Each structure stands twice: as structure tokens, then as C-alpha cells.
Amino acid sequence: MNLKLKIWRQANAEAKGEIVTYNISDVSPDMSFLEMMDMHNEQLIETGEDPVAFDHDCREGICGMCSMFINGEAHGPDRLVTTCQLHMRKFKDGDTITIEPFRADAFPVIKDLAVDRSAFDRIQQAGGFVSVNTSGNTQDANAIPIDKHDADKAFDAATCIGCGACVASCKNASAMLFVSAKVSQYSLLPQGKVEATDRVLNMVNQMDEEGFGNCTNTGACEVECPKGISLENIARMNREYMSASLKG
């Protein structure tokens, strides 16, 4: 396939960015999107140009690093996949593909398509953990019966990979889907109930401090989430937050 790529280039956080147009030939439909980007970067390097900076690590939908806005959609036109799982067969010969970074005030651009998502790390540090008594009297987690329905919901929430597509897709750059997945993952399990009150208050406060916007229940986050995280997690987090605020 021969394609036209329109890619956001920005030298650093302070520089003014712009869309730069490139042509790329001989792209195989079997390539992954990132392999196409690698091929493009090899061509840039051969001609002495600066390669396009973009994040990636696992390349199998696990790490959440490959955050790109492709033709106006986080992770591109496919559903329930990350950019690294997107294949070029989703595009046609002659297509123009516009590739931009995830945009949000809380995700400043580092360079080109790479953005700083450490705001998510700070939200996790504010409460995305359980404290375990390691005195030697710790109860084996497998010995605690858990309702199958709750276990399934907790597992679904735990599949969030922290990619930030929910923020990038939201007109308010809200992080509610991400934070609610992290809150739900613990609040549904007995191990997470001990710190549940502090957790939801601290994580939501940190989310607000980082400058993410409010949720207006549009649902774009759920549509673009590569892991299918449900809006019901936001409803659960709101209930948890309300009840924690009344206790506090």
C-alpha cells in the first residue's frame, strides 16, 4: 500500500508543533501499525531526518504505552485494541492517516507523539494499592471466599492498562474511567475494603489536582477504551466517593 502520513511533530514540550506530511510506500497489510511507524522512521533516519518519537514497550496490548490518536480516534479505527495491536489491513491503499499525540493539559507533550502520563502514576500512588500484614499471620488470599460476580467485576476493572485513551477521547479530558477502574478493582474485593474510604478520597483528590476535567457521561471513553472498561465503574466510584465523604 502507498499511504500519506500526516504526523504531529513537536521538538519538545515548549516548541510549537505542526502537522508534517510524509509519503510512505510498500506498506504490507500484514504489518502492525507500529511496524509501519518503524519503517517510516528507518526511512527518515536514512535521509538524515529526525525520527518520530512515540512510546511503545510490550507491543502486545499489555503495557498501555503506545498511545496515538489515529484519524481522530485513540488507538485508531479498530475496537478493543491498542495501537500496537492495530494492523495496516484496517487501511486502504492511497489512504491519508493523521497521527497525533493524546491531547490533554494533564498529558503534556514530551516530543512528537510521546506525552507525559506520569499524572496517572501519581493517582495510583495516592491509593491504587492494598496494605498487607506481613507479620507471619497473614491469611492466604485463596482462603477468603469471594462472590463470583464480584470477582469477575474486579477482574474486568483490573484489565485497565493505564493507556490514557479515555482521557484523550473525552471532550473534558476526564480521567474518571481510569480512576474508577482502579478504585473498583479493589473496592469489590475484601482485601481492598480495609482502605476503601481513604483510597477513593485520595485518588479522586489527586485526579483533580492533576487537572483532569469532569465527567459528563458522554461515554466516548468507554467506546475508545481498548480494554472495554465499563462506565458502570464510574457509577461505582461516585457511590464510593459519596459514602466516603459522608464518613469523613
Pairing assessment for the beta strands 3-9 and 96-100 based on DSSP bridges: parallel
Residues 104-163 that bind ligand SF4 (CB under 6 A): 160-163
Q: Which of 59, 87, 103, 122 binds ligand FES (CB under 6 A)?
A: 59
12: exposed, middle or buried (Cβ count in 10 Å: 0-12, 13-18, 19+): exposed
Q: Which of 3, 119, 177, 215 binds ligand SF4 (CB under 6 A)?
A: 177
Q: Which of 58, 141, 151, 235 binds ligand FES (CB under 6 A)?
A: 58
Q: Within 10 Å of residue 161's Cβ, how many Cβ atoms?
A: 20
Between vectors from CA 220 to CA 101 and to CA 36, what angle results, nearest 5°?
35
Alpha carbon separation from 46 to 40, 54, 164 (Å, rounded)? 10, 18, 33
Least Å distance, CB 60 to ligand FES, is 6
Size of the site for ligand FES (CB under 6 A): 13
Q: Which is nearer to ligand FES, 65 or 234 (CB)?
A: 65
Q: Which is nearer to ligand SF4, 139 or 216 (CB)?
A: 216
Least Å distance, CB 30 to ligand FES, is 18
Q: Provide Rg for the chain, Cα atoms.
A: 20
Measure the CA–CA gap between 109 and 36, rounded to whole angstroms.
22
> Residue 39 contacts by C-beta under 8 Å, 6 or more apart in sequence?
24, 27, 31
CB 66 within 8 A of CB 55: yes
> Hey, what's the cell of 93?
491503499
Residues 182-241 that bind ligand FES (CB under 6 A): none
Q: Is 62 in the site for ligand FES (CB under 6 A)?
A: yes
166 touches, from ligand SF4, ligand FES, none (C-beta below 5 to 8 Å by class) = ligand SF4
H or E segment and range at residue 153: helix 148-158
Least Å distance, CB 21 to ligand SF4, is 29
Least Å distance, CB 74 to ligand SF4, is 7
Measure the CA–CA gap between 158 and 233, rounded to whole angstroms.
11
The single-letter code of the amino acid at 110 is I
Q: Is 178 in the site for ligand SF4 (CB under 6 A)?
A: yes
Q: Which is nearer to ligand FES, 204 or 229 (CB)?
A: 229
Residues 73-102 that bind ligand FES (CB under 6 A): 82-84
Least Å distance, CB 162 to ligand SF4, is 5
Least Å distance, CB 180 to ligand SF4, is 8
**Bridge partners, 4 (sequence order):** 23, 96
Q: Which residues bind ligand SF4 (CB under 6 A)?
A: 160-166, 177-178, 181, 225-227, 229
Q: Which residues bind ligand FES (CB under 6 A)?
A: 56-59, 61-66, 82-84
